[in-house]
């Protein structure tokens, strides 16, 4: 794009392009967050099963006997994470500046990875959980990489924009200076249909008697 | 010829379209030399104005050279350099004779549509939906100008396109908004919005001798330009507009308030703006009147509210009680451009003002679609985009 500025004051040197692809990716991540969050809220047991997250029942019981607070169940954790995802997704879709929300996703990804990796293994009657912890972790790492790429691209775009001079503080528009121009058009006669109504003009003693209703 | 065409919400394209032809004896064809994207074009871009059709040519700020004149047009001749006001006026109807050119009774080809929407017709406008006549706009290599023996303003030699282009819209719009305030030397004038029209409201209020001009926005580079023009600025992200305005007026409020924002107010931190966005999302409200509410609340009793910002339909929760009990005067309307152009052209010639200060981007017409987004998003310090063929 061939772009120049007319005014020589504070001339723009170049134009930082808006990376439409990255903004579209951020929006896509917003929809993904929203969908995942709703799934986690609606089907926490299934999500926990896919991630091979077991219940800390035994440990919880022992902690309870020891007078400690039991660990939350995997379903509670999944629901809480679902709320987080819905919030981030809504934020990403509503905002004009997705960067902080995408960094929020990156933080959430790390939390997800830690949670899945450290959760007790799910046990089932037949020795199969119906999910794959390794698969879940691979998927989480892949999503984290995508989030990191998006966040970094948005950060670079922001830095590029901030690095450019958009200083219009020399653009008065008054060739003779602002203060010298103040009131230069006071010779202008305001048309009758745009004057302050007589009723609202400064009132003088004895003027307009009977106006006050 | 090439033109920028509206193809739907957020979809403007640089396309080949048929050349315009003389349709009426008073017409002229203008070869565009310079045009601009107006803030109100963004209302079309964002899909807020009804009655747009796919393929409509956009643009109502343009100027150029006369290349063809109808048989009934004795004012213009081929080769004349003209700025074309965005309001098309016949010059003969009752409203035009009163100087109310923006409500010309004859120039809107779709009067029925306008009467259904507004109760009465308003003037035809270039490139601004079929509600205002469906006239092809000026973001094109050639433009047909109806009533060209009245509407266009001839430009004398010695002035650049950039100096006079804005005589067609934003300069007279800012001027009319300030004139409608009937500014007194003791007045504080508060201007909401530091976009192009807001910038001209500020310059006009300074020219007309306001004691103090205050500008409210949240875009730093726009506020910097407002400061350069003589305004005290309030960044509504950083401080309370109401408290700061009270502080600047010893608790009394500004005598004159100008809404240069219109229907797409972007305030986000107030309950009423969240309410507006929610209602707009479910189509229970067309416009977001946060600025109107704030102006009514903060304006000094017996003050004036001047509204050059464009509104399109229905608003909600307007504090009519405050408006009435405070005895505020409201003046609004599209700009009666031709009423002010001679005087403003003289002021440019005399060097009182150089309107080109507001231009931040000059591009070719082909780059227009991308610049709509840049302008809409206020990226790259964008305040005013000018395009050439």
Point out which residues pair with B37 in neighbouring strands. B385
Find the closest chain B residue to A164 by CA distance.
B380
Q: Which residues contact A184 (CB under 8 A, 6 or more apart)?
A: A176, B207, B347, B352
**ipTM value:** 0.90
Q: Encode pLDDT of A109-138 as tens digits.
A: 999 999 888 877 766 555 555 568 888 899
Residue A185: list chain B partners with CB under 8 A. Answer: 204, 207-209, 347, 352
Q: Is B117 helix (H, G, I), strand (E, B) or coil?
A: helix
CB contact under 8 A, A6 and B356: yes
Q: Is the dihedral of CA B49, B51, B56, B62 positive or negative?
A: negative
Q: Are strands B124-125 and B11-16 parallel, antiparallel or unpaired?
A: unpaired
The nearest CA of chain A is from the CA of B245 a distance in Å of 21
Residue B304: list chain A partners with CB under 8 A. Answer: 196
Residue A160: list chain B partners with CB under 8 A. Answer: none
Tokens of B265: 């107010």
Regions in chain A scoring below 70 on pLDDT: 1-18, 55-71, 122-131, 161-165, 204-213
Instruction: Look at residue A25 in the predicted model and tell me its pLDDT.
Output: 93
Q: Which residues contact B78 (CB under 8 A, 6 or more apart)?
A: B66, B67, B68, B69
Spatial separation of the C-alpha atoms in residues B378 and B366, rounded to whole Å: 20
CB contact under 8 A, A7 and B364: no
- Which of A168, A183, A196 lies nearest to residue B209, judging by beta carbons? A183
Cα distances (Å, whole numbers) of residue B259 to A16, A172, B204, B217, B333: 31, 21, 14, 11, 12
Find the closest chain A residue to B278 by CA distance.
A94
- Which of A166, A176, A200 lies nearest to residue B381, judging by beta carbons? A166
Residue A178: list chain B partners with CB under 8 A. Answer: 206, 228-230
CA of residue B65 relative to chain centroid, distance: 23
Spatial separation of the C-alpha atoms in residues B221 and B200, rounded to whole Å: 16
Residue A196: list chain B partners with CB under 8 A. Answer: 182, 304, 329
The single residue listed with the structure tokens 């960094």 is A103
- CB neighbours of residue A134 within 10 Å: 9
- Which of A5, A161, A181 lies nearest to residue B352, judging by beta carbons? A181
CB contact under 8 A, B347 and A173: no
A201 closest CA partner among B157, B5, B40, B304: B304
Chains A and B form CB pairs within 8 A to the count of 141
B210 closest CA partner among B233, B234, B181: B181
- Which of B182, B304, B355 lies nearest to residue A173, judging by beta carbons? B355
Residues of A with CB under 8 A from a CB of B: 1-7, 12, 15-16, 18, 96, 161, 164, 166-176, 178-179, 181-186, 188, 190-191, 194-197, 200
Find the closest chain B residue to A166 by CA distance.
B381
Residue A3: list chain B partners with CB under 8 A. Answer: 361-363, 367
Instruction: Look at residue A7 in the predicted model and tell me its pLDDT.
Output: 46
CB contact under 8 A, A166 and B199: no
Residue A197: list chain B partners with CB under 8 A. Answer: 329
The nearest CA of chain A is from the CA of B347 a distance in Å of 8
Spatial separation of the C-alpha atoms in residues A47 and B10, rounded to whole Å: 38
The nearest CA of chain A is from the CA of B236 a distance in Å of 17
CB contact under 8 A, B353 and A168: no
Find the closest chain A residue to B171 by CA distance.
A173
- Which of A164, A175, A184 lies nearest to residue B207, judging by beta carbons? A184
Find the closest chain B residue to A14 by CA distance.
B380
CB contact under 8 A, A171 and B357: yes
The nearest CA of chain B is from the CA of A204 a distance in Å of 16
- Which of B199, B206, B360 lies nearest to residue A181, judging by beta carbons? B206
Residue A201: list chain B partners with CB under 8 A. Answer: none
- Interface mutation target, options B224, B299, B328, B342, chain A, most CBs of A under 10 Å: B224
Residue A172: list chain B partners with CB under 8 A. Answer: 228-230, 357
CB contact under 8 A, A186 and B185: yes
DSSP classification of residue B58: P
Query: pLDDT tens, position by position, for chain B (389 residues)?
Result: 999 999 999 999 999 999 999 999 999 999 999 999 999 999 899 888 889 999 999 999 999 999 999 999 999 999 999 999 999 999 999 999 999 999 999 999 999 999 998 999 999 999 999 999 999 999 999 999 999 999 999 999 999 999 999 999 999 999 999 999 999 999 999 999 999 999 999 999 999 999 999 999 999 999 999 999 999 999 998 899 999 999 999 999 999 999 999 887 776 667 887 778 888 777 787 888 899 999 999 999 999 999 999 888 888 889 999 999 999 999 999 999 999 999 999 999 999 999 999 999 999 999 999 999 999 988 888 999 999 99
CB contact under 8 A, B203 and A174: yes
Residue A1: list chain B partners with CB under 8 A. Answer: 363, 367, 370
Question: What angle in degrees, to the nearest 10, is found between the helix axes of A74-94 and A99-118?
Answer: 170
- CB neighbours of residue B247 within 10 Å: 11
CB contact under 8 A, B222 and A2: no
Cβ distance B355 to B200 under 8 Å? yes
The nearest CA of chain A is from the CA of B313 a distance in Å of 24
């Amino acid at each position: 794009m061939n772009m120049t500025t007319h005014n020589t004051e504070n001339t723009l040197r170049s134009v930082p392009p808006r990376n439409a692809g990255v903004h579209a990716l951020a929006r896509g991540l917003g929809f993904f967050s929203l969908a995942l969050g709703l799934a986690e809220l609606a089907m926490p047991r299934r999500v926990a099963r896919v991630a091979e997250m077991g219940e800390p029942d035994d440990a919880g019981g022992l902690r309870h006997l020891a007078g400690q607070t039991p660990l939350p169940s995997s379903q509670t954790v999944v629901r809480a994470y679902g709320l987080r995802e819905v919030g981030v997704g809504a934020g990403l879709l509503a905002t004009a500046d997705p960067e902080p929300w995408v960094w929020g996703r990156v933080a959430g990804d790390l939390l997800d990875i830690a949670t899945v990796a450290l959760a007790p293994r799910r046990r089932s009657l037949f020795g199969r959980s119906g999910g794959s912890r390794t698969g879940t972790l691979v998927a989480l790492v892949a999503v984290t990489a995508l989030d990191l790429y998006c966040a970094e691209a948005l950060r670079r775009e922001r830095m590029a924009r901030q690095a450019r001079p958009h200083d219009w503080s020399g653009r008065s528009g008054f060739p003779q200076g602002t203060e010298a121009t103040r009131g230069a058009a006071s010779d202008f006669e305001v048309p009758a249909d745009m004057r302050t109504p007589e009723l609202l003009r400064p009132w003088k003693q004895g003027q307009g008697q009977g106006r006050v209703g | 010829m090439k033109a920028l065409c509206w193809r739907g919400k957020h979809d403007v394209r640089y396309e080949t379209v048929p050349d315009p032809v003389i349709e009426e004896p008073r017409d002229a064809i203008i070869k565009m030399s310079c045009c601009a994207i107006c803030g109100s074009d963004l209302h079309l871009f964002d899909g807020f104005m009804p009655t747009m059709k796919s393929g409509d040519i956009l643009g109502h700020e343009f100027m150029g050279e006369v290349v063809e004149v109808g048989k009934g047009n004795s004012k213009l001749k081929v080769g004349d350099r003209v700025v074309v006001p965005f309001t098309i006026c016949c010059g003969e109807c009752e409203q035009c004779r009163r100087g109310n050119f923006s409500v010309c009774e004859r120039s809107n080809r779709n009067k029925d549509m306008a009467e259904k929407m507004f109760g009465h017709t308003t003037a035809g406008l270039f490139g601004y939906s079929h509600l205002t006549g469906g006239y092809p706009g000026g973001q094109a290599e050639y433009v047909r100008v109806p009533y060209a023996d009245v509407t266009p303003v001839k430009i004398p030699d010695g002035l650049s396109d950039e100096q006079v282009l804005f005589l067609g819209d934003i300069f007279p719009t800012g001027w009319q908004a300030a004139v409608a305030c009937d500014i007194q030397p003791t007045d504080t004038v508060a201007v909401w919005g530091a976009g192009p029209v807001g910038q001209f409201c500020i310059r006009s209020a300074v020219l007309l001798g306001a004691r103090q001009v205050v500008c409210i926005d949240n875009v730093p580079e726009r506020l910097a330009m407002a400061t350069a023009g003589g305004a005290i600025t309030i960044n509504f992200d950083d401080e309370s507009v109401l408290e700061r305005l009270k502080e600047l007026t010893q608790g009394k409020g500004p005598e004159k308030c100008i809404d240069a924002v219109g229907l797409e107010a972007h305030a986000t931190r107030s309950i009423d703006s969240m309410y507006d966005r929610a209602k707009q999302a479910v189509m229970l409200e067309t416009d977001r009147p946060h600025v109107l509410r704030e102006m009514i609340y903060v304006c000094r009793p017996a003050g004036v509210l001047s509204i050059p910002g464009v509104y399109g339909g229905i608003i909600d929760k307007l504090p009519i009680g405050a408006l009435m009990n405070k005895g505020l005067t409201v003046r609004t309307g599209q700009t009666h451009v031709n009423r002010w152009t001679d005087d403003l052209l003289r002021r440019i010639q005399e060097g009182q003002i150089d309107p080109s200060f507001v231009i931040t981007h000059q591009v070719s017409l082909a780059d227009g679609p991308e610049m709509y987004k840049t302008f809409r998003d206020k990226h790259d310090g964008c305040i005013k985009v000018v395009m050439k063929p």
